[in-house]
């Protein structure tokens, strides 16, 4: 779940893209990049690290132009420490293209072979996003009418991308001298919204992973990009869109609502915050139903993402809500950090207890999800060290028992604390006195309560049902091996990349 952003404006966009990436930082902490376009010429700076570390004033000055795209990366293919896999990716032919991608292709190995053998294109990294760009490049070349590119050709090319690519992809693409293209896979697994800003010089358009970017940058939210849809904005501000997939079954990723997205975002008509509050409501009702005698003195959230659910649980159960853990705001999200040892260390560095809230009490700790158990193991023992009499743990999401192949880096079942374990065994493993999970149906109901028009969600990590229909055990086994090897040495490395590209503007 990387963060992507694209803009067509009437004035320079470098600062706007930087600010937008800062707002999307929670979606990827490993690398960042911005590319801009000015009169058919591309400018790009990208590298490993947080947005604030990757861009210096001199880099920003070089990013000229009124059109651009940006990316923050959380790798699901390749490795976190390879600077060559930072995005956007560039190909010079046809026309000059730059792409930023959120998601994960599930047939990238197959496509890579095909691209080499039939399309005569070379892929130089292990990133599936480079594959996506090359498929698009090939299809654009084939669809372009002679040397002239028009909107119809672009939409036909995206239709062929949908035909060839499997998995999850929300992408923004700069086409040199032509404009900004944005598209979402036929299931709409990863989010993408479009907004507009009226200026005296004409309309400006912004496409981003989450609506919070529109809010903060002063754009008015127009709508979500529909599953399978492509949006094309010419450099002069002309806006066009077309449905490019023959059949779509909308299935937004459930984990966006549980954890990934910011609570102040609205994805596919569902307020992330409201859905999390509902999760708390359903979980409180389940707890009362299944454990009517359980005595709890206080509800304590595990910051940050669990707060809305924890607060609602406390209200519903008629219990006090207390902030028992203080978070160091300068340490990023643990779950999306590369490498288990760094994740474990960061939980202790990030969270500290206020003993007063634990001493002699029966505490109910609430988290949004338990994935590898890194956070809960540490937190439960910290609560005991702080003097808690009983430590119960509730998870606003059901047990995560299956690998994710659509843009969340949990490719190996073995790393998931709930894989192959009963709830009692997980509870023992975590060291809690009781463990309470949300039911999958209640999770779905929590999200549907906000927007009943969406009937399907991508819930594979909870139920093992993969919406794209192409995921076999053999495939999952292959991914486990591949990712296991790629992650070795994911401990960070410096290496920034500047590109100052001259491209043709003769389209």
Ligand X SMILES: NC(=O)CC[C@H](N)C(=O)O
Ligand Y SMILES: O=P(O)(O)OC[C@H]1O[C@H](OP(=O)(O)OP(=O)(O)O)[C@H](O)[C@@H]1O
304 binding ligand Y? (CB under 6 A) = yes
Q: Would you give the binding string for ligand X spanning residues 372-411, x where CB under 6 A is met?
A: -----------------------------------x----
Closer CB to ligand Y, 137 or 393, in the complex: 393
- DSSP code for 312: H
Q: Is 2 a catalytic residue?
A: yes
Residues 15, 23: contact at Cβ < 8 Å? no
Residue position matching structure tokens 């960042």 = 32
Question: What ranges in 325-366 are assigned the alpha helix state H?
Answer: 340-350
Cα 418 from Cα 414, distance rounded (Å): 9
446 binding ligand Y? (CB under 6 A) = no
- Report whether 367 belongs to an annotated binding site: yes
2 binding ligand X? (CB under 6 A) = yes
Radius of gyration of the chain (CA): 23
User: What are the φ/ψ torsions at residue 317 (nearest 5 degrees)?
Assistant: -90, -5
* Burial grade of 50 (CB within 10 A; 0-12, 13-18, 19 or more): middle
Host H or E run for residue 112:
helix 108-117
Rounded to the nearest angstrom, the gap between the alpha carbon of residue 167 and the centroid of all alpha carbons in its chain is 14
Question: What ranges in 180-228 are assigned the alpha helix state H?
Answer: 211-217
Q: Would you give the binding string for ligand X spanning residues 203-242, x where CB under 6 A is met?
A: ----------------------------------------
Q: Find which of Mg ion, ligand X, ligand Y, none residue 187 binds, CB within 5 to 8 Å per kind.
A: none
Other CB atoms within 10 A of residue 452 CB: 10
* Of 13, 34, 44, 77, the one binding ligand X by CB under 6 A: 77
372 binding ligand Y? (CB under 6 A) = yes
Residues 378, 429: contact at Cβ < 8 Å? no
Instruction: Using CA atoms of 251, 255, 258, 260 in order, give the dihedral in degrees to the nearest 10.
Output: -120
DSSP string, 360-386: T-EEEEEES--SSSHHHHHHHHHHHHT
**Considering the complex, what minimum distance in angstroms separates the CB of residue 439 from ligand X?**
27
Closer CB to Mg ion, 128 or 256, in the complex: 256
46 binding ligand X? (CB under 6 A) = no
Instruction: Using CA atoms of 10, 11, 12, 13 in order, give the dihedral in degrees to the nearest 10.
Output: -50
Closer CB to Mg ion, 305 or 459, in the complex: 305
Q: Find which of ligand X, ligand Y, Mg ion, none residue 374 binds, CB within 5 to 8 Å per kind.
A: ligand Y
Total number of residues shown for the chain: 507
Closer CB to Mg ion, 87 or 306, in the complex: 306
Site for ligand Y in 315-354 (CB under 6 A): 333-335
* Of 178, 259, 273, 325, the one binding ligand Y by CB under 6 A: 259
- DSSP code for 433: S
Query: Which segment (46-54, 97-105, 395-403, 442-450) binds ligand X by CB under 6 A?
Result: 97-105
CB-closest chain residue to ligand X = 2
* Of 104, 134, 353, 468, the one binding ligand X by CB under 6 A: 104
Cα 152 from Cα 245, distance rounded (Å): 14
Cα 369 from Cα 382, distance rounded (Å): 18
Among the listed residues 2, 81, 427, 461, the single catalytic one is: 2
Site for ligand Y in 32-61 (CB under 6 A): none
* Of 6, 40, 47, 75, the one binding ligand X by CB under 6 A: 75
Closer CB to ligand X, 365 or 400, in the complex: 400
111 binding ligand X? (CB under 6 A) = no
Enumerate binding residues for ligand X (CB under 6 A): 1-2, 73-78, 85, 101-104, 127-129, 407
Q: What residues act catalytically?
A: 2
Enumerate binding residues for Mg ion (CB under 5 A): 305
């Amino acid at each position: 779940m990387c963060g992507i952003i694209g803009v067509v404006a009437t004035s320079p966009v470098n600062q706007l893209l930087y600010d937008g990436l800062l707002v999307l930082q929670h979606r990827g902490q490993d690398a960042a990049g911005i590319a801009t376009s000015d009169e058919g010429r591309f400018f790009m700076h990208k590298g490993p690290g947080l947005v604030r570390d990757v861009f210096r004033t001199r880099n920003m000055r070089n990013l000229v132009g009124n059109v651009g795209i940006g990316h923050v990366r959380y790798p699901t293919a390749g490795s976190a420490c390879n600077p060559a896999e930072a995005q956007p990716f560039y190909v010079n032919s046809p026309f000059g293209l730059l792409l930023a991608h959120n998601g994960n292709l599930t047939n990238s190995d197959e496509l890579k072979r095909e691209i080499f053998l039939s399309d005569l294109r070379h892929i130089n990294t292990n990133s599936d996003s480079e594959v996506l760009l090359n498929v698009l490049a090939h299809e654009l070349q084939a669809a372009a009418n002679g040397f002239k590119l028009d909107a119809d050709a672009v939409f036909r090319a995206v239709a062929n991308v949908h035909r060839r690519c499997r998995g999850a992809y929300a992408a923004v693409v700069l086409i040199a001298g032509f404009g900004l293209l944005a598209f979402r896979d036929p299931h709409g697994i990863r989010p993408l919204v479009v907004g507009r800003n009226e200026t005296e010089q004409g309309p400006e358009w912004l496409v981003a992973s989450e609506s919070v970017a529109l809010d903060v940058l002063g754009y008015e939210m127009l709508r979500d990009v529909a599953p399978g849809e492509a949006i094309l904005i010419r450099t002069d501000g002309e806006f066009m869109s077309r449905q490019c997939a023959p059949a779509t079954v909308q299935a937004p990723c459930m984990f966006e609502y549980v954890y990934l997205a910011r609570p102040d975002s609205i994805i596919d008509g569902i307020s992330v915050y409201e859905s999390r509050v509902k999760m708390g409501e359903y979980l409180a009702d389940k707890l009362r139903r299944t454990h009517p005698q359980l005595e709890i003195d206080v509800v304590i959230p595990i910051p940050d993402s669990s707060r809305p659910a924890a607060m609602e649980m406390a209200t519903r159960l008629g219990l006090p809500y207390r902030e028992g853990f203080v978070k160091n705001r300068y340490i990023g999200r643990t779950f999306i950090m590369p490498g288990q040892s760094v994740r474990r260390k960061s939980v202790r560095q990030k969270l500290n207890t206020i003993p007063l809230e634990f001493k002699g009490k029966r505490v109910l700790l609430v988290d949004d999800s338990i994935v590898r158990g890194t956070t809960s193991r540490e937190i439960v023992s910290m609560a005991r060290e702080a003097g808690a009499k009983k430590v119960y743990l509730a998870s606003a999401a059901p047990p995560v028992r299956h690998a994710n192949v659509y843009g969340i880096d949990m490719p190996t079942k073995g790393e998931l604390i709930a894989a192959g374990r009963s709830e009692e065994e997980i509870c023992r493993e975590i060291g809690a006195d009781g463990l309470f999970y949300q039911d999958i149906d209640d999770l779905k109901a929590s999200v549907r309560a906000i927007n009943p028009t969406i009937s399907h969600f991508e819930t594979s990590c909870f139920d093992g049902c993969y919406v794209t229909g192409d995921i076999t055990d053999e495939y999952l086994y292959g991914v486990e091996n591949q990712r296991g090897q790629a992650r070795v040495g994911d401990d960070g490395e410096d290496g920034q990349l500047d590109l100052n590209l001259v491209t043709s503007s003769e389209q």
